[in-house]
Amino acid sequence: MSTCQSSALSINDIRSTAQAAISILAAAGIVSCLVGSAAGSEHGISRTPNDVDILALSETMTQAELKSLLVSKCPRFSLSKPESNLHASYSILKYSIPAPQLMFCHVDIFLPGMIHLPPIPHDRIVYSSQTSLPVMPFFPILLHKVQAWIAHRDSPKERARIKQSNDVQDIRELLKIAVSAHNVKLGEQTWLPPWFLQEAAEGVSEYITSHPETADSWTKVGFFVDNS
C-alpha cells in the first residue's frame, strides 16, 4: 500500500483526505469504503495511518479512471509518477494539506480483487461512530491486515519489509478488540467470498507460526490452531 510523504500527518489530516475522496466518489454514484490502516484506525487501532486506502465498488470504472475523477473534481488532488520510477505506467494520487505547512497524503484507490480485497455488499459497509466515514467491516479488516503482513514480509523492497512491525502492532490490537469488544467469530462470516476466507486461513496459519503468542486469540475468534 502507499505511504504518505510526511510522518507529521495527523489523524485529522487522514480523515479529511478520506472524506474528500469518498464524497467525490459518492457524488458520482460510486459506493466506497475505507480499507487498510485508515479503516483500522476507525475500528480502534492506536497508530495514526500513513495513508488513505479506499475500496471503490465500481464495475464500470478502472483504477486510473477513478483517480482521474478525483483530480478533475478537486484541485487538492493531483497525480504524479513515482520518484523511484518516472517512467512507470501508473501514477500516484496525492491530496494536498496546506496548513500549517504544505504536506501531501497519498491515496490509493482499489477495486475488489486487488491486493486480496474482497467485494463488500453495500449493506455490510459500516459507518464510523467517530467520523461517519464508510469503513470495511471489522473482521475482513483484521484478516486483510494479515495479508498485508505477508506481502510486506515477502517483498524484495526494504521499505516494504520494515512495515512488518506496524502490521504486527495493528494485528495485536485488532485481535484484542476482536476478542474483548466485538466477540466476532469466523463461522459468522459466511457472507465473505470463499477465496478470501481460504486465503485468510492460510495467512493466519503463517502468522501463528511466526507469532505463536497470538494462537489463543486466533482460536477464540474461530480459527483452528494445530498445536502438534
Residue 124 lies in a domain: yes
The pLDDT score that the predictor gives to residue 56 is 98
Domain end residue (candidates: 65, 100, 135): 135
User: Which string of b and e fits 169-199 if b means at least 16 CB within 10 Å?
Assistant: ebbebbbebbbeebebebeebeebeeebbeb
Do residue 150 and residue 180 come from a single domain? yes
For 42-64, b where at least 16 C-beta lie within 10 A, e where not — what string? bbebeebbbbbbbbbbbeebebe
Q: Are 176 and 46 in contact (CB under 8 A)?
A: no
Would residue 189 count as lying in a domain? yes
Total domains present in the chain: 2
- Could you tell me the end-to-end alpha-carbon distance of the chain, in angstroms, rounded to an integer? 35
Asked whether residue 173 falls in the same domain as residue 108, the answer is no
Q: Of 103, 135, 167, which marks where a domain is finished?
A: 135
The helix or strand, by DSSP H or E, that contains position 43, with its residue range, turns out to be helix 36-43
Q: Classify the C-alpha dihedral 27-32-33-38 as positive or negative.
A: negative
Range of the domain at 211: 138-221
Do 124 and 144 fall into the same domain? no
Whether 4 is covered by a domain: the verdict is no
User: What is the residue-level pLDDT of the chain in tens, covering all 228 positions?
Assistant: 444 444 589 999 999 999 999 999 999 999 999 999 999 999 999 999 999 999 999 999 999 999 999 999 999 999 998 777 777 778 899 999 987 788 999 999 999 999 999 999 999 999 999 999 999 999 999 999 999 999 999 988 888 888 889 999 999 999 999 998 877 889 999 999 999 999 999 999 999 999 999 999 999 999 988 765
What pTM value is reported for the model? 0.90
- Tell whether 164 and 92 lie within a shared domain: no
